[in-house]
Structure 1
Amino acid sequence: MRERPPKGGRGERDGGDSAARHVYGVNPVLEALRAKPEEVERLFIVEGQLAAKAAGELLSRARDAGVRVEKVSRERLAAMADGGVHQGVVLELRGFKYSELEDIIDAAEASKRPPLVVVLDGIQDPHNLGAIIRSANALGAHGVVIAKDRAVQVTGTVAKASAGAVEHCLIARVVNISRALEQLKEAGLWVAAADVDATEPMWSARLDGPLALVVGAEG
């Protein structure tokens, strides 16, 4: 049986953000309602701004999940979305629950496919984090690992940029990226890192085995 790693390399199952978070935009809100209805607190809408089809599906899913719906002003919705493009709808969820790195490794083993884990070191821009999570999910990655400190965390902006992929992707938040990489290597994964000074182009590298792909900070 594999031993649990020291705390520095583990993610946080119940130690996620305790404050409520807001997901905004039609697609991210629908994905959250489909994937995690039990975590939804309230649905806020601006009456008359949503297209009839989108409003119908949102209200139907909210009703099925027993979610309270509140009609609010555009100004209040804009404040909840931190000025982002909300499309007339904001969903309030409980704080995001991060997975443990062990969960990602176990999911990879259970899938019977070569493990693929994306490890992000110091990503600061929420739009970049969301785009990477969206791409990782589309590629079939078993999970994404982010740093707890000096890096952006999962927020409503990240969820919007991910097009709702944060609701379907295991995301582990770790204190020490180096320890997390050691744990992944112990689980049989090779580590490859993107580097602007690398001499080998990524399209000629062998990336078809059990892999932890490391992407560093912007700039």
Structure 2
Amino acid sequence: MRRKARQATKAENRPRFWGRHAVAAALENPDRHIHRIWITREAAAQYDIPASIPVTYADGADLGRLVPRDAPHQGIVAEVERLEDILLADLLDQAEDHKPLLVLDQVTDPHNVGAILRSAAAFGALGIVTQDRHAPPESGALAKAASGALETMPWVRVVNLARALDDMAAAGFWRIGLTGEAGQTLAEALGPARVALVLGAEGEGMRQNTEAHCDALARLPISGIESLNVSNAAAVALYAASVA
């Protein structure tokens, strides 16, 4: 898959990943450049680290100072280069029936986006699409929540989400916006083999212009609570689309 060129990130802005799954997945990703690794000697036996990556051995307390407070580093921290951007056109060229596409409208919490990436990988989604200015950057917290899926699930960042939704329609995607106020359920809205599921930020939901670029609006059939966390809603919607 072609990627748009990205200038090398300055060292002070490079994300640091921590934890077994996030770092192991980064090591296995040929598109991920890892600048250096800090690791405890006890943890080192669990990884096959290429000789080209500088390694510093440290104790757990030293690693704790490299990451946010109380972050579960599990004995390893890696400083990485952000992945290059993927083009939406290339992702759409790889579209297959019954592989849903997730669209996130201003979902900015890294834990939510990471969890959504993990669910997208679990349910065989085509990828996720976000705006470039209203989505979190790659970070240790996001990578930890994604549990390795950041390295395997295509993530497209676009300037204009409405235009991107138009491109999805041209590629044969039925665009379903999820909102609690919709009259029909997601099961009732599903039908075409190619579907793009559109979710808005918690609280605000989808913006009006985003809703206007959807073919249908639908709600999840939940009861007893007002709404689900956006990452939980994404997982439920992906499951529904996968069994439709």
Q: TM-score, normalised by structure 1?
A: 0.81
Q: With CA pairs under 8 Å and 6+ residues apart, which has the higher RCO, 1 or 2?
A: 1
2:36 is paired with a residue whose SS is strand
Residue 57 (structure 1) aligns with: 46
- Residue 106 of structure 1 deviates from its aligned partner by 1.8
Q: Does the Cα contact within 8 Å between 1:118 and 1:141 map onto a contact in 2? A: yes
Q: Which moved more, 1:147-156 or 1:20-29?
A: 147-156
Q: Does 1:172 align with 2:156?
A: yes
Task: Encode CA deviations 1:63-99: one digit per residue, 9 max, x unaligned.
Answer: 3x63221113434422432232111111111123221
Of 110, 120, 127, the match for 2:104? 120
- Residue 115 of structure 1 deviates from its aligned partner by 4.6
Counterpart CA distance in 2 for 1:122 and 1:167 is 22
The alignment covers a number of residue pairs equal to: 198
Q: Does the Cα contact within 8 Å between 2:97 and 2:193 map onto a contact in 1? A: no
2:183 is paired with a residue whose SS is coil
Residue 36 (structure 1) aligns with: 30
Map 1:150-165; keep pairs closer than 5 Å. Answer: 150-165=134-149
Map 1:1-219; keep pairs closer than 5 Å. Answer: 13-15=4-6, 18=9, 19-36=13-30, 39-48=33-42, 50=43, 55-58=44-47, 61-63=48-50, 66-83=52-69, 84-108=71-95, 112-206=96-190, 209-219=193-203
- Letter paired with 2:75: G
Counterpart CA distance in 2 for 1:168 and 1:26 is 16
- RMSD of the alignment, in Å? 2.3
Counterpart CA distance in 2 for 1:216 and 1:12 is 26
- Overall identity of the aligned pairs, in %: 32
Task: Encode CA deviations 1:129-176: one digit per residue, 9 max, x unaligned.
Answer: 000011111111111111111332222211110001010011111111
Counterpart CA distance in 2 for 1:184 and 1:33 is 32
Show structure 2 runs of 5+ residues with no match.
204-244
Counterpart CA distance in 1 for 2:32 and 2:110 is 25
Counterpart CA distance in 2 for 1:208 and 1:105 is 16
Q: TM-score, normalised by structure 2?
A: 0.73
Q: Does the Cα contact within 8 Å between 2:175 and 2:198 map onto a contact in 1? A: yes
1:80 is paired with a residue whose SS is coil
